[in-house]
Amino acid sequence: VQLQASGGGLVQAGGSLRLSCECSGGTFSSYVMGWFRQAPGKEREFVAAISRSGVSRYNADSNKGRFTISRDNAKNTVYLQMNSLKIEDTAVYYCAADYRRTIGVTINRYDYDYWGQGTLVTVSS
């Protein structure tokens, strides 16, 4: 299974970006998908997750109301729409897949089995 994240870049505070993560080599519709991020000198932290069908979604408190996770199982792709970006959102963003969970989502990074390479998001003032 390979996950290819894209869409990162430099944006001003208050702006928007949409990250994409395309899955290949596996059965995308059977994976819980998550987004995590890691800022320099910090631990990798949970951002958002979505269930296999897309019915269940969960966001970290830090981005509720600003970030939206979605998926298109026909395109084997998960998205993260990020609005009202803040300087503290600057990080490398990673997508991840959990093939074992059948119901709901998980925010625990150790539950995820496959990881993408990351895409850098830089928010400037």
Let me know: does 17 contact 8? Beta carbons within 8 Å: yes
State pLDDT tens for residues 33-86.
999 999 999 999 999 999 999 999 999 999 999 999 999 999 999 999 999 999
Give the pLDDT of residue 72.
Answer: 98
Give the pLDDT of residue 58.
Answer: 98
**Residue found by looking up tokens 């991840």 in the block:** 96
Let me know: does 47 contact 67? Beta carbons within 8 Å: yes
State pLDDT tens for residues 76-118.
999 999 999 999 999 999 999 999 998 999 999 999 999 999 9
Amino acid at position 85, single letter: L
Give the pLDDT of residue 7.
Answer: 98
Q: The tokens of 11 are what?
A: 């944006």
Complete DSSP assignment for 23-90:
EESS-GGGSEEEEEEE-TTS--EEEEEE-SSSS-EEE-GGGTTTEEEEEETTTTEEEEEE-S--GGG-
